[in-house]
């Protein structure tokens, strides 16, 4: 069976690339199609296969500023030649699901979200923070991209959503049902360590919609120590408003991140995420989460008052005042969170389980088409 993997772009190892890595392990001989590949940006498991890129690869400054070519993405992905492949497995948050599918092939899309730039997060990317020219030009471009995104959904035989939250968005945007397979957390990368340190932790890209400003403001006003792992366009603005106890560490390697997870008081997660892997990484380290009570966090974090042991606290609305209240509530009863129970919660999303669930799902879909 000939398998083609399709991924939006390869510029770093984030949650989507962790999923892609598992797909590469399931299909070690599969070819990988992507708009852009920055060599060395992903793990050897991904790098060592045949990678086919689009003309976006050759555009000026594409490695750093590929998003400026967003209007060209549909054309670029449509030019991939997938003739001769029996299974096409796309992992998509932008345009990967829009590939042209040859007759007889099965196309399964592991969908992180419908194209986030033109749907739910359009104001974050092209609102007040964007330049005046961009704001003027984007409305008709975004409208065209939304039409394309809806139209090409018909080329997907089966959608698999990363959460019920995303499954609902797929239904609203595409009018399609989807199955849910949660993304993996590599529990083996993390450890429980006692005693913990005196700091709270944020692990995130520093972009506007992540709302890391809420964590920075809350820590500053409370006089708490906060370590921020990540980089992005918001870094300078956040630093300008941060108190002396807030430290910006940039990105760190996996070993350093695991060490900080194990020693933090709690992870602060102020974002509306499609799923959100960092809360589970914190739980795998035996550390609780203070999370916004919206989005994918509702499917992973267990608050007090349930049958299962608690793994964190929710706050709402999405304001610094609400987060401050949650931090104070956490500090008033820190002993309610048992590290081994938190790790057991993360183990329900462990990488081997994800791999087996994806394999079983694909085997079932292929069998139904007579392609075992």
Same domain for 312 and 234, yes or no, is yes
Q: Rounded to an integer, what distance in angstroms lies between the CA atom of residue 111 and that of residue 249?
A: 31
Number of domains comprising the chain? 2
Residues 362, 265: one domain? no
Confidence bin at 372 (pLDDT 50/70/90): very low
Q: Kindly state whether residues 355 and 229 are assigned to the same domain.
A: no
pLDDT digits (tens, 9 = 90+) for 313-329: 999 999 999 999 999 99
Rounded Cα distance between 84 and 99, Å, is: 14
Between 184 and 333, the higher pLDDT residue: 184
Distance CA(359)–CA(367), nearest Å, equals: 12
Token pair of 365 as six digits: 């879909």
Position 354 scores a pLDDT of 98
Same domain for 227 and 136: no
**In a shared domain, residues 204 and 165:** no
Residue located via tokens 């995420």:
273
pLDDT tens digit sequence for 295-308: 999 999 999 988 89
Per the CB < 8 A criterion, the answer to whether 33 and 46 are in contact is no
Q: 205: domain CATH number?
A: 3.40.50.2000
* Mean pLDDT for the stretch of residues 11-32: 94
Q: Are residues 158 and 222 in the same domain?
A: no
Inform me whether the pLDDT recorded for 371 exceeds 70: no
Q: What does the alpha-carbon distance between residue 189 and residue 342 come to, in Å, rounded to a whole number?
A: 15
* Confidence at residue 128, expressed as pLDDT on a 0 to 100 scale: 65
- Partners of residue 250 on adjacent β-strands: 229, 230
Asked if residue 201 and residue 154 are part of one domain, the reply reads: no
| 194 shares a domain with 165 | no
| Residues in a beta bridge with 180 | 161
Residues 173 and 201 in one domain: no
Segment 251-287, tens digit of pLDDT: 898 899 999 999 999 999 999 999 999 999 999 999 9
Strands (E), the chain: 3-7, 31-34, 51-53, 87-92, 106-111, 158-161, 179-180, 199-203, 225-229, 246-250, 267-269, 289-292, 312-315
Task: Determine the Cα–Cα distance for residues 302 and 189; give it in Å rounded to an integer.
Answer: 22
pLDDT at 117 over 90: no
Instruction: Note whether 287 and 234 are same-domain residues.
Output: yes
Rounded Cα–Cα distance for residues 122 and 178 (Å): 23
pLDDT score recorded for residue 323: 98
DSSP annotation of 39: T
Backbone angles phi, psi at 5, to 5 degrees: -100, 135
Per-residue pLDDT at 144: 92
Indicate whether 84 and 61 sit together in one domain.
Answer: yes
Same domain (yes/no): 13, 110:
yes
Q: Which domain holds residue 60?
A: 3-184+351-368
pTM of the predicted model as reported, rounded to 2 decimal places: 0.90
């Amino acid at each position: 069976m000939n398998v083609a993997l399709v991924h939006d772009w390869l510029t770093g190892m984030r949650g989507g690339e962790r999923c892609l890595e598992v797909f590469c392990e399931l299909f070690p001989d599969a070819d990988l199609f992507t708009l852009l590949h920055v060599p060395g940006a992903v793990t050897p498991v991904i790098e060592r296969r045949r990678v086919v890129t689009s003309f976006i690869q050759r555009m000026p400054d594409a490695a750093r500023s590929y998003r400026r070519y967003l209007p060209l993405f549909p054309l670029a992905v449509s030019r991939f030649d997938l003739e001769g492949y029996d299974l096409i497995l796309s992992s998509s948050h932008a345009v990967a699901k829009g590939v042209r599918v040859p007759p007889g092939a099965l196309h399964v899309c592991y969908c992180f979200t419908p194209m986030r730039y033109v749907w739910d997060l359009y104001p974050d990317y092209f609102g007040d923070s964007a330049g005046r020219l961009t704001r003027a030009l984007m409305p008709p471009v975004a409208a065209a991209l939304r039409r394309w995104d809806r139209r090409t959904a018909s080329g997907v035989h089966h959608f698999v959503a990363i959460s019920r939250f995303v499954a609902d968005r797929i239904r609203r945007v595409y009018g399609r049902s989807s199955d849910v397979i949660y993304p993996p957390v590599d529990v083996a990368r993390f450890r429980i360590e006692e005693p913990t340190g005196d700091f709270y932790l944020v692990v995130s890209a520093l972009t506007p919609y992540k709302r890391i400003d809420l964590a920075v403001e809350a820590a500053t006003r409370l006089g708490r120590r906060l370590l921020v792992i990540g980089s992005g366009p918001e870094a300078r603005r956040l630093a300008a408003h941060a108190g002396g106890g807030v430290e910006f560490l940039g990105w760190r390697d996996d070993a350093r991140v695991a060490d900080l997870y194990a020693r933090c008081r709690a992870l602060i997660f102020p974002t509306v995420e499609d799923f959100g892997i960092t809360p589970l990484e914190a739980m795998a380290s035996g550390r609780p989460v203070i999370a916004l009570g919206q989005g994918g966090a509702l499917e992973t974090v267990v608050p007090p008052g349930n049958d299962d042991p608690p793994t964190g606290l929710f706050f709402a609305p999405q304001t610094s005042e609400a987060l401050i209240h949650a931090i104070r509530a956490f500090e008033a009863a820190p002993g309610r969170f048992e590290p081994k129970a938190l790790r057991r919660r993360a183990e329900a999303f462990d990488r081997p389980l994800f791999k087996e669930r994806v394999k079983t799902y694909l085997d079932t879909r292929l069998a139904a088409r007579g392609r075992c």
